[in-house]
Amino acid sequence: MTTVTSNDIQELKDLLSAMREETRKQMISLREETREQIDALKEDNRQQLESLREENNQQFINLQKEITQIKIITAKIEGTIQSQAVLTPKKSRFNRESWGIKKLETNSYCRYHCFYQCHNYLVYSRRKFKTLKSGIFLNS
- Same domain (yes/no): 108, 58: no
Residue 86 lies in a domain: no
Q: pTM higher than 0.75 for the full model?
A: no
**pLDDT tens for each residue of the chain, 140 residues long:** 678 788 889 999 999 999 999 999 999 999 999 999 999 999 999 999 999 999 999 999 999 999 999 988 888 887 777 666 555 544 444 454 544 444 444 444 444 455 555 556 556 665 555 554 444 444 43
- Same domain (yes/no): 1, 58: yes
Q: Please count the structural domains in the chain.
A: 2
- Same domain (yes/no): 49, 9: yes
Q: Which residues span the domain enclosing 107?
A: 92-140
Q: What's the CA gap between 55 and 68, in Å, rounded? A: 20
